[in-house]
Amino acid sequence: MNDPSEALASAKAAADRVVKTKRLNACLTGPKDLRKSLVAQAQAAHPSGVLYGMPVAVKDNIATLDFPTTCGSKILEGYRSPYEATAVVKLRAAGALITGKTNCDEFAMGSSTEHSAYGRTLHPFDKTRVPGGSSGGSAALVAAGVVPAALGSETGGSVRQPASLCGVVGIKPTYGRVSRYGLVAFGSSLDQIGVLGRSVHDAARVLSVISGRDPKDSTCEDRDPLRLPTVPESLQGFVIGIPKEYFPADLDPAVRRACDRVIRLFREQGAAVREVSLPHTSFAVATYYILAPAEASSNLARYDGARYGPRFDGATDVRALYRATRGQGFGAEVRRRILIGTYVLSSGYYDAYYRKAQQMRALIAQDFRNAFDRGVDLLFTPTTPTAAFKAGEKLADPVAMYLSDIFTVTANLAGLPAISLPIGRAKGLPLGGQFIGQAFLEDELIEAAYALERVVPATTEA
Amino acid sequence: MPAPWETVIGLETHVQLRTVSKMFCGCSAAFGAPPNTNVCPVCLGLPGALPVPNELAVKLAVRAALALGCTVHPRSVFARKNYFYPDLPKGYQISQFEQPLATDGSLSYLSPERGIVTATIVRLHLEEDAGKSLHDRFPKQTAIDLNRCGVPLIEIVTGPDFRSPQEARAYLLTLKQVLEYAGASDCDMEKGSLRVDANVSVRRAGDTALGTKVEVKNINSFAYVEKALTVERDRQIAVLEGEGGAGGAIEQQTMLYDAKTNSVRPQRTKEESHDYRYFPDPDLPPLVLQPEFIEEQRAALPELPTAKRERFQTQYALSIEHAAVLTSDRTVADYYEAAVHAGAEPKVAANWVINEVLADAKDHNEQLRVPAASLAQLVSMVKGGRLSQQAAKRVFVEVAERGGEPRNVAEALGLIQVADSGVVAAWVSEVLGAHATEVSRYRNGETKLLQFFVGQVMKASRGKADPKLAQKVLEDKLAS
């Protein structure tokens, strides 16, 4: 596409599709604002851009100039960022059309998009189920065919898990591959912007555009943007490791069958398959739920009602203002994590929790390095323990909710790239499998995903 | 009779680094801009914004650390200090905690009681400043100015090394001197670029254990350092001695000094103290400094005050006092050396700089108004007998006020001394003729009258006679 009339048509069609799928509550931007913005964007977009005219939705925790950035929270209701995230600036420069802001768990804390102050997002295949989270709005929009790709963000699986539950592709790049400037911080040492796409190619080409150095982010690596690999003929030459800890005895049978089917395909495609062990895997969720809340408790301190966002007034002194604003502005899950994080950083508990968790994080990262050092190129695992669960099912039990991240948080803790893609269905609901790769070798990951995508019976029952 | 009280003081000094921009963003770090004009998403802590360290700030901090003899660590870690305050927009301050930039330094200074002593620098770390709460701008409301937010600071922490408020002040003045020399900071307390918190305790002389310490904050002028610390020291002694010798206990707390009333009042007790929940800032990779970088900063340091003072003592044969005065300020030291290089005799030049140049500067906004070369010319003219000491001071003032070459100014004012023995002999004859009584008293052994005759010759010549020549001619004539 390089014709302005086509871009305009693409913009209008995307706006129409958003309106048609309104019942999903996946997009937080109002239809009028969205249409107006999309038309203006299509007119302003540069036809030479590699994503010219491509509608790309953006998770609501990524700063945009055109729309409010609320992070799914009441505490940022109506907040407009005076600047734009580097990833969004790069998307625009490539000619993409920012197709509204997508619903998410508040401040990306959650695995079901039920923890949004703006209501839950419905699973596009079954409205009684969740789309996963926290990037559930992005996943639902891509799965519903509204946009070919959307930006999400991951702290502990928040792109791959909803991608898996919604039957789309989700890429979490290496920590430091994409600038975090403008991504509202949750767990800064874990956060990465990722991409959800209807295909490996759609996700990968968006990732390629948003990747690369950024002088505004000290944790972003000084590297050129990712170069897309070509689609390989087969998996010849790949050594794929199957970590046994990701296939526990009580694994959901449908998930196991789908994975077994994929492993057979690997062999058929010429890959060498090896069982490997990542012995510290069982500590990953506990480690994650110390470190991410610790960082969150500090990152979210700035929302105090003093400078921006709604102020829950009537307070007579500044402490009361803080209490009222934060007490009413944050939802229960966010408050829970701030409390956990404050606790684990407190004097007298720091060594027992935070420091210990940092040590465990190093061991988990070492597990991966050990596997790769033994000649494994990529690891393959299920993305989630089950298909999409029922709305409300895990709300009363935070730990059950946290365990839905059990296969995804490790890549975040180790800072490694991973990609989830559909590998089958269970009673009509999508199942995902993921490749975890070596740091900054997204190209290998994408190459393998291309090859698997061509042969996997993604929409057939496992 | 118990042993006398001993005061123990440790200082934490916050110094603003002399950078153009802030610690983690490109905003101006200048003082005095209208409120909230030097701000951006980063220093405002807007959602999603991220810090990027200022390289010049790191360089200046390393130079300061090296100037204070610290070990600069090749790897240090930025940490978040978490607390809620309206002028702290992120809800945390980026500082350094477990792994500071530098440790184990020292600074020698001249104690008024103990001579040259050495204070230990426990640590020196980088951090950003917070904003400012203005309580007096709007009635019953607090206004926030975030211009200072993110301004680069170093915190310099000493051991409990000072034994009197006077020592604390002497250390601070020396610290200021060194940091100014190093180019790290302008150390202007009035602009808030140097701020001091003190830990004060007292104990009986001879005790080795430290007493309970109290932190004194809000000492914002050099003039108040001694006062604030004396007030707190006296308060503690009064508490310990108690009413009628009962003997109370010191509570560990933070006190605020109020310069208006010259008193301290409690800010918070230990129970109320913050748990800052320090942890490594995940937005900033560890600060890794290559050995070459550290060596470059060392090479960029000028000669520091102590070394310069010692060199002045040996090279120019100056007393320690004179050398100390001349090296207390780098500009003055450079001025002095320029005068010496322009031919002024070092000891004489030292007297001139200390007595005339610095006195003049004090009255004229610290301006060194007479160029060093002119001072050298003046000094040489005095030495060559062409200008009396008195006349030279007049010329100095004239040059300071109106400029010009001292030689020309002296001539224009008719102050050049007459060294022609014929002319001087005529003045001598005139004086001897007019004071016959004194002449006979002199000849009868009252030789101390010689100075009287010299004075009369100077008077007769209206200061133009070379006094040495006049004395010689007088001696000859009175002897004959």
Chain B residues close to A215, C-beta within 8 Å: 52
Q: Is A327 exposed, middle or buried (0-12, 13-18, 19+ CB in 10 A)?
A: exposed
d(CA B252, CA B272): 11
Strands of B38-97 (E only): list them.
Answer: 71-72, 75-76, 78-82, 92-96
Kindly tell me if the per-residue pLDDT of B28 is higher than 80: yes
Residue B54 has pLDDT above 70, yes or no: yes
- pLDDT for position A228: 95
Cβ-Cβ contacts under 8 Å for A211 (sequence gap 6 or more): A173, A177, A178, A223, A225, A226, A442
Is the separation of the CB atoms in A384 and A164 below 8 Å?
yes
Question: Token digits for B236?
Answer: 């503690």
Q: Do A218 and B144 touch (CB under 8 A)?
A: no
Intra-chain end-to-end CA distance of chain B, in Å: 75
- pLDDT for residue B242: 80
Domain with CATH 3.40.190 in chain A: 239-280+366-441
CB B72 within 8 Å of CB B54: no
CB B74 within 8 A of CB A329: no
Contacts of B120 (CB under 8 A, 6+ apart): B104, B105, B106, B158, B159, B161
Distance (Å, whole) CA A85 – CA A182: 4
β-strands A378-382, A239-243: how paired? parallel
Suggest the residue from B25, B44, B46 to mutate for an interface test with chain A (most A CBs closer than 10 A): B46
Q: Which of A37, A73, A81, A134 is catalytic?
A: A134
A10 is catalytic: no
Q: Do B86 and A85 touch (CB under 8 A)?
A: no
Peptide bond into B185 cis (omega under 30): no
* CATH tag, A4-210: 3.90.1300.10
Residue B178 has which token pair? 């060194």
Q: Residue B201 belongs to what H/E stretch?
A: strand B194-204
If you search the block for the tokens 């004009």, which residue do you land on?
B37
Tokens standing for residue A149 = 């790709």
| B residues 25-54 closer than 8 Å to A (CB) | 41, 44-53
Q: What are the backbone dihedrals phi and psi of residue A182, each rounded to the nearest 5 degrees, phi first?
A: 95, -10
Of B297, B266, B242, the C-alpha closest to B74 is B297
Return d(Cα B347, Cα B18) in angstroms, integer. 35
Residue B86 CA to chain centroid, in angstroms? 34
Shortest Cα distance from B138 to chain A (angstroms)?
A: 15
pLDDT at B1 over 80: no
**pLDDT classification of B67: cutoffs 50, 70, 90:** very high
**Cβ(B149)–Cβ(B42) below 8 Å:** no
pLDDT in tens, A271-301: 999 999 999 999 999 999 999 999 999 999 9
Distance CA B186, CA B323 (A): 22
Q: What is the pLDDT of residue B136?
A: 85
DSSP string across A301-350 = GG-SSSSSS------SSHHHHHHHHHHHHS-HHHHHHHHHHHHHHSTTTT
Residue B244, pLDDT above cutoff 80: no
In the prediction, which pLDDT does A202 show? 98
Between A175-189, B157-171, B277-291, B430-444, the lowest mean confidence (pLDDT) is in B430-444
Instruction: Please report how many Cα atoms fall inside a 13 Å half-sphere around the Cα of residue B421, on the Cβ side.
Output: 8
Q: For residue B266, how many other CB atoms are within 10 A of its CB?
A: 12
Closest partner residue to A215 (CB to CB) among B44, B52, B92 is B52
Which comes out higher in pLDDT, residue B430 or B79? B79
C-alpha to C-alpha distances, B146 to A91, B28, B110, B152, B154, nearest whole angstrom: 32, 12, 38, 14, 19
Residue of B nearest to A180 (CA): B48
B47/A302 Cα distance (integer angstroms) = 8
Across B437-456, b (16+ Cβ under 10 Å) vs e yields ebbeebeeeeeebeebbbeb
B191-207 residue pLDDT tens? 888 999 999 999 999 99
pTM: 0.91
Whether A302 sits inside 8 A of B90 (CB atoms) is: yes
Site of tokens 């748990």 = B275
pLDDT for B168 equals 96
Are B84 and A62 an interchain contact pair (Cβ–Cβ within 8 Å)?
Answer: no
**Lookup result for tokens 């001879």:** B206
Instruction: Burial-class residue B338 by CB neighbours within 10 Å (0-12, 13-18, 19+).
Output: middle
Burial label, B293 (beta-carbon count in 10 A; 0-12, 13-18, 19+): middle
Work out the angle at residue B36's Cα, subtended by the Cα atoms of residues B35 and B41, and round it to the nearest 5 degrees: 170
Residue B162 pLDDT > 80: yes
Q: Chain B: give the shortest CA distance to residue A56, in Å.
A: 20
pLDDT of residue A46: 86
What Rg, from alpha-carbon coordinates, does chain A have? 21
Catalytic residue from among A10, A135, A138, A158: A158
- What's the pLDDT band for B246 if we cut at 50, 70, 90? low
| Per-position DSSP letters for A442-455, written without gaps between them | HHHHHHHHHHHHHH
pLDDT in tens, B331-386: 999 999 999 999 999 999 999 999 999 999 999 988 899 999 999 999 998 888 78
What percent of chain B has pLDDT above 70? 99
Q: How far does Cα A259 stand from its chain's mean position?
A: 22
Give the active site residue among A59, A74, A90, A172. A59
DSSP string covering A22-48: GGG--B-S-HHHHHHHHHHHHHHS-TT
Judged by DSSP in three states, B282 sits in coil
pLDDT bin (cut points 50, 70, 90) of residue B271 is low
Euclidean distance between CA atoms A246 and A243, whole angstroms = 6
Is A134 noted as a catalytic residue in this protein? yes
Query: How many of the other CB atoms lie within 10 Å of CB of A250?
Result: 7
For strands B102-111 and B115-128, give the pairing: antiparallel
Q: Is A390 a known active-site residue?
A: no
Query: Which residues make Cβ contacts (< 8 Å) with residue A38, sequence separation at least 6?
Result: A11, A12, A14, A15, A55, A97, A99
CA A413 to chain centre: 14
Give dist(CA A341, CA A334) in Å, integer.
10
Q: What distance lies between CA B154 and its chain's CA centroid?
A: 18
Q: How far is CA A354 from CA A315, A402, B237, in A?
A: 34, 18, 42
Contacts of B282 in chain A (CB under 8 A): 187-189, 219, 295
SS3 B216: strand
State the smallest CA–CA distance between residue B173 and chain A in angstroms: 36
User: Is the pLDDT higher at A143 or at B189?
Assistant: A143
- pLDDT digit string (tens) for chain A, length 462 residues: 678 899 999 999 999 999 999 999 999 999 999 999 999 999 999 899 999 999 999 999 999 999 999 999 999 999 999 999 999 999 999 999 999 999 999 999 999 999 999 999 999 999 999 999 999 999 999 999 999 999 999 999 999 999 999 999 999 999 999 999 999 999 999 999 999 999 999 999 999 999 999 999 999 999 999 999 999 999 999 999 999 999 999 999 999 999 999 999 999 999 999 999 999 999 999 999 999 999 999 999 999 998 998 887 777 888 899 999 999 999 999 999 999 999 999 999 999 999 999 999 999 999 999 999 999 999 999 999 999 999 999 998 888 888 889 999 999 999 999 999 999 999 999 999 999 999 999 999 999 999 999 999 999 999
Q: Tell me, what's the pLDDT at B190?
A: 82
pLDDT of residue A12: 96
Q: Which residue has the tokens 């604390």?
A: B168
* Sequence-ordered list of residues with C-beta below 8 angstroms from that of A280, at least 6 positions apart, any chain: A360, A363, A364, A367
Do residues B160 and B214 make contact, with C-beta atoms less than 8 angstroms apart? Answer: no
CB A361 within 8 A of CB A287: yes
Q: Degrees (nearest 5) of the Cα angle B422, B428, B432?
A: 145
For residue A375, the model assigns a pLDDT of: 96
Q: Which positions in chain A have a beta carbon within 8 angstroms of at least one beta carbon in chain B?
A: 62-63, 69, 71, 76, 79, 81-83, 85, 180-185, 187-189, 215-219, 294-295, 297-298, 300-302, 304, 306-308, 318, 322, 342, 345-347, 350, 354
Sequence ranges of chain A with CATH classification 3.90.1300.10: 4-210
Taking phi first (over 0 means left), then psi (-120 to 50 degrees means alpha), and beta for anything else, what does residue A108 get? left
Alpha-carbon dihedral of residues B16, B20, B23, B27, nearest 10 degrees?
A: 120
Q: At what angle do helices B372-383 and B389-402 cross, to 10 degrees?
A: 160
Q: Which CATH number fits domain A239-280+366-441: 3.40.190, 2.20.28, 2.60.40, 3.30.1360?
A: 3.40.190
Query: What pLDDT was estimated at residue A442?
Result: 98
Q: Three-state SS across A102-154?
A: ECCCHHHCCCCCCCCCCCCCCCCCCCCECCCCCCHHHHHHHHCCCCCEEEEEE
Name which of A170, A82, A100, A88 is nearest A134 in CA terms. Answer: A170
Handedness of CA B305, B308, B314, B317 (dihedral sign): negative
Distance between CA atoms of residues A304 and A321, nearest Å = 8
Question: Given B41, B278, B283, which is nearest A188 (Cβ)?
Answer: B283
How confident is the model at residue A2, as a pLDDT? Answer: 74
